[in-house]
Amino acid sequence: MARERPGAIDYGSSGPGGINHFVTEYFCLRAGIQMNHVPYRGMPPAVTDLVAGHIPVLITTMPSAAGVVREGRVRLLAYTAPGAPDGSPPGPTVKEAGIDYESDIWWGLFAPRGLPPEILTRLNTEANAALGDPEMAKLLQTEGARPSPATPQAFSEILRVELARWREVATAANIKLD
């Protein structure tokens, strides 16, 4: 529909410059479509307007939309990454649906520049141990994330790649800080 009517489809986000704004603009770039951004003050009002039919598209986390999806009030079209949260409805990924797109949720542990190496090593060891805990894995899964222990060097590389991707999206979509 967006290909047939460029710029005629609105999508919601949790606000300008938020992750939902970025991942939807990234989707638009990868799909070769143009949609209009409708920023909300958080995800709950965006989900409410999706249910009410005021916006036709919303990319959000499964926990934010699980209730309305399970109730059949909105339709899940696709997941943005493999590995849907436990108990989530079945559905394809965007990539499986034919668009070369994947966007995953991740969190990282940051420390001040110049942190003594022994403290950085200890923090990394403890964080990786926590990520190896089955209860932590279960908690992350409910948020649509997977534990991914890493070294500080590997995380720095992930961050470098992610920053380059999102910088490209910000430039292409003209997303600016207000």
What CATH number does the domain containing 22 carry? 3.40.190.10
Residue 148 lies in a domain: no
Tell me the per-residue pLDDT of 136-176, one tens digit each, with 9 for 90 and over: 988 888 777 788 999 999 999 999 999 999 999 999 999 98
Residue 127 lies in a domain: no
40 is a domain residue: yes
Classify residue 123: in a domain, yes or no: no
Query: Is 65 part of a structural domain of the chain?
Result: yes
The answer to whether position 95 is within a domain reads: yes
Inside any domain, residue 48: yes
Structural domains of the chain, count: 1
Task: Determine the structural domain holding residue 94 and report its residue range.
Answer: 10-103+166-173
pLDDT of residue 9: 96
53 part of a folded domain? yes
Q: How far apart are CA 164 and CA 161, in angstroms?
A: 5
Give residue 3's pLDDT. Answer: 92
Please tell me the pTM assigned to this model: 0.87
pLDDT tens digits, one per residue of 1-11? 899 999 999 99
Distance of alpha carbon 62 from alpha carbon 43, whole angstroms: 12
Q: What is the Cα–Cα distance from 30 to 40, expressed in whole angstroms?
A: 24
Kindly indicate the confidence band of residue 56, based on its pLDDT and cuts at 50, 70 and 90.
very high
Local structure of residue 32 (DSSP, 8 states):
T
Min mean pLDDT across 31-35, 106-110, 161-165, 169-173 is at 106-110
